[in-house]
């Protein structure tokens, strides 16, 4: 019985870890996109200042 519980728990832990990883990666991708947008805006501001 204990072996069965630990087996199902590890499966649940693996699935939970996968879900957390997916959400974490999505958040990371969003942060990277946001940073890229900020960098683009800064570059545009510098370009207009140079003129």
Q: Which helix (H) or strand (E) is 28 found in, with range?
A: helix 2-50
Measured CA distances, 27 to 11, 17, 24, 48, 51 (Å): 24, 15, 5, 32, 37
What distance in Å separates the CA atoms of residue 32 and residue 20, rounded to the nearest whole number?
A: 18
Q: Model confidence over 2-29: pLDDT tens digits? A: 676 677 778 888 899 999 999 999 999 9
Check: pTM over 0.85? Answer yes or no.
no
Q: Model confidence over 24-46: pLDDT tens digits? A: 999 999 999 999 999 999 999 98
Residue ranges per structural domain of the chain = 19-51
- What pLDDT score does 9 carry? 74
Q: How many angstroms from the chain centroid is the CA of residue 27?
A: 3
């Amino acid at each position: 019985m204990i072996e069965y519980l630990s087996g199902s728990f590890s499966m649940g832990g693996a699935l939970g870890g996968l879900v957390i990883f997916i959400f974490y990666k999505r958040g990371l991708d969003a942060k990277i996109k946001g940073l890229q947008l900020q960098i683009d805006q800064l570059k545009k501001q510098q370009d207009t200042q140079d003129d």
